[in-house]
Amino acid sequence: MKEIILIKLGEIVLKGLNRKSFEDTLIKSIKRRLSGVGRFDIRYAQSTIRVEPLDDDTDMDEAVECVSRIFGIAAFARACVTDKDIGSIKTAAAEYLRDTLEGVNTFKVEAKRSDKSFAMQSPEICREVGGFLHDTYPHLTVDVHEPDVTVTVEIRDFGAYIRAGLIRGAGGIPVGTGGKACVLISGGIDSPVASYMMAKRGLELTAVHFASPPYTSELAEQKVVQLLERVARYSGRIKMFTVPFTEIQNEIRDKCIEDYFTIIMRRFMMEIAEIIAGQNDCQALITGESLGQVASQTIGAIACTDSACNMPVFRPLIGMDKEEIITVSRKIDTFDISIQPYEDCCTVFTPKHPKTKPALNKVLEEQNKLDCRRLVEDAVKNVRVTMIY
Ligand code: ATP
Ligand code: MG
C-alpha cells in the first residue's frame, strides 16, 4: 500500500504577506533534509504539503523522524493513498489502520472532499467507511465527541488519503526565514540547547568553537562536532569554525591579573566570533549563558562581555534554570554527549576568585596589556572549517 506524509503548516500561516516566502523556505528545507533519506515528490496544495516516496523501498520511519524535526511544521501524519472509489477506500482504511484500531475502543470518521466531483458527499463517506470499520472491528464503538482515534478520509485530486490522528510537529518557524546567526559553541550542556532554540525561531546557524591545544584535546573538539550533528538534525547544515585559542589564553595567563582571566577571555571570544560572523553574513551572535549560573554570567560580567562586540547577542537561556535546560538537552539528544568529561578551554585557566562585579575600565586596563589586535587577527587567520550535516 502506498504511504505518504501529509504536513500541516505551523505559525507561518500567520505571516501575512511574507507567507509565500516562508512556505517556499519550508518546502526547500523539507526537500533538502529528505534528500538524505531517499527520493520524494513534494507538493504543496491547500495548506498541506504532501510528501510521496518515489521508490518502494523508502524507509518511511526515517522520513517521518526527519520531518518531525523540521521547524515550521505544526503537525503531520502518515497516510495511505488509494483510488477514489468507496470500495477501495473502505478496505484500505481497515487494513492500513489495523494496529491503531485494534488498540482503541472508540472512533469516528471524518471526511474532507476537496475534489467536489466525487460522487458521494462527506456525511455519506463517513457513514460508509464508519460502518465498514465497525463491521471489521466489532469491539469499536462510535464516539463523535471524544473518540480515541479520528479516522480522516480526504478526497483529493490525485487520490484518496486515509489517516489516523495528527502527530505534533517541531513547531517554530522555518530555518533561514529569520536570517543567519553565529553560535559560540562549547562542549557543554547549554550552548547546543541555545543553538536549537534560536534555529527554532528561524535562524540559520554558523558555529564558532574555541580550542586550546594541547590544553584541550582532539577528542574535546570531536565532541563539539557530535553535538552540532545533533543540532543539525533540527537546524540543517552548520558551518563550524574552530579557532585556535591557545596563544590568547597563554598571553592572558602570563600578563593579566588572575581574577580577570575569564572575563578577558570571553571578551576575546565575542570579538573573534563577531568578525567570523560578519564574514559569513551572520547578523547576530548566540551564546548559552544563563543569568547567575557562574561568575562570568552575572549582570556585571555580561555587561563587560557584551561591550566587546556590536552585534546583537541572543542568549535564549538567560532566564532558564539548569533543570529546564537539561530537559531540552535530553529532548534533542545532546545531553549524553555533553556530559562526557572532556576539558573546555574555559575550564583550563579558571581563576580562584573570579570577579562577579568586574569594572569595565579595570578589565580594559588588564586586557590592554596585551597586543589584542595581533592576537585577534592571528586567531581569525588560522581558523579551520568543518561542515556539519
Ligand atoms: P556550556 O554548557 O554551553 O559550555 P557553560 O555553562 O559551561 O556553557 P561558560 O563556560 O561560561 O558556560 O560559557 C558560556 C558560553 O560561552 C557558552 O554557552 C558558549 O556559548 C560560550 N563558550 C564557552 N566556551 C566556549 C568555547 N570553547 N568555544 C565557543 N564558545 C564557548
Ligand atoms: Mg562551557
Residue that terminates a domain, selected from 119, 153, 170: 170
Model pLDDT, residue 14: 59
Q: Which residue has the cell 557584551?
A: 306
Give the pairing of strands 167-171 and 238-244: unpaired
Question: What whole-number distance in Å separates Cα of residue 270 and Cα of residue 379?
Answer: 13
Model pLDDT, residue 11: 64
Going along 126-179, which residue ranges are E strands? 141-142, 149-155, 160-163, 167-171
326: nearest Cα among 182, 160, 188: 188
Pocket residue to mutate for ligand 1, from 182, 191, 313, most atoms within 8 A of Cβ: 191
Residue that terminates a domain, selected from 148, 170, 192: 170
Residue that terminates a domain, selected from 126, 142, 170: 170
Model pLDDT, residue 271: 98
Model pLDDT, residue 114: 87
| CB-ligand 1 contact for 293 (6 Å cutoff) | yes
Model pLDDT, residue 234: 98
What radius of gyration, in Å, describes the C-alpha atoms of the chain? 26
Model pLDDT, residue 125: 97
What's the number of CA atoms in the CB half-sphere (13 Å) around residue 38? 19
- Which residues sit opposite 387 in a β-bridge? 239
For the chain, how many structural domains are there in total? 2
CA distances 328 to 188, 202, 307, 332, Å, are 13, 18, 29, 6
Q: In this structure, how many other beta carbons lie within 10 angstroms of the beta carbon of residue 317?
A: 25
Q: Whose CA is nearest to atom 17 of ligand 1?
A: 288
Task: Indicate whether 48 and 162 sit together in one domain.
Answer: yes
DSSP secondary-structure letter at 216?
A: S
- Cell numbers given for 275: 568578525
136 CA → ligand 2 middle, Å: 58
Task: Indicate whether 225 and 157 sit together in one domain.
Answer: no
77 CA → ligand 2 middle, Å: 39
Q: Which atom of ligand 1 is found nearest the CA of 212?
A: 27
In angstroms, how far is CA 126 from the centroid of its own chain?
Answer: 38
370 CA → ligand 1 middle, Å: 23
- Which residues sit opposite 183 in a β-bridge? 207, 286
Give the closest ligand to the alpha carbon of residue 263.
1
Domain that holds residue 7: 2-170
Pocket residue to mutate for ligand 1, from 184, 185, 186, most atoms within 8 A of Cβ: 186
Task: Indicate whether 127 and 253 sit together in one domain.
Answer: no
258 CA → ligand 1 middle, Å: 19
pLDDT digits (tens, 9 = 90+) for 75-124: 999 999 999 999 999 999 999 999 999 999 999 999 999 888 999 999 99
- pLDDT tens string for the chain (389 positions)? 899 999 988 666 556 667 888 889 999 999 999 999 999 999 998 788 999 999 999 999 999 999 999 999 999 999 999 999 999 999 999 999 999 999 999 999 999 998 889 999 999 999 999 999 999 999 999 999 999 999 999 998 889 999 998 999 999 999 999 999 999 999 999 999 999 999 999 999 999 999 999 999 999 999 999 999 999 999 999 999 999 999 999 999 999 999 999 999 999 999 999 999 999 999 999 999 999 888 888 999 999 999 999 999 999 999 999 999 999 999 999 999 999 988 777 666 778 888 888 899 999 999 999 999 999 999 999 999 999 99
Q: Whose CA is nearest to atom 12 of ligand 1?
A: 289
Task: Indicate whether 309 and 194 sit together in one domain.
Answer: yes
What CATH number is associated with residue 286? 3.40.50.620
Model pLDDT, residue 293: 85
| CB-ligand 1 contact for 294 (6 Å cutoff) | yes
Task: Indicate whether 196 and 281 sit together in one domain.
Answer: yes
Q: Are 144 and 170 in contact (CB under 8 A)?
A: no
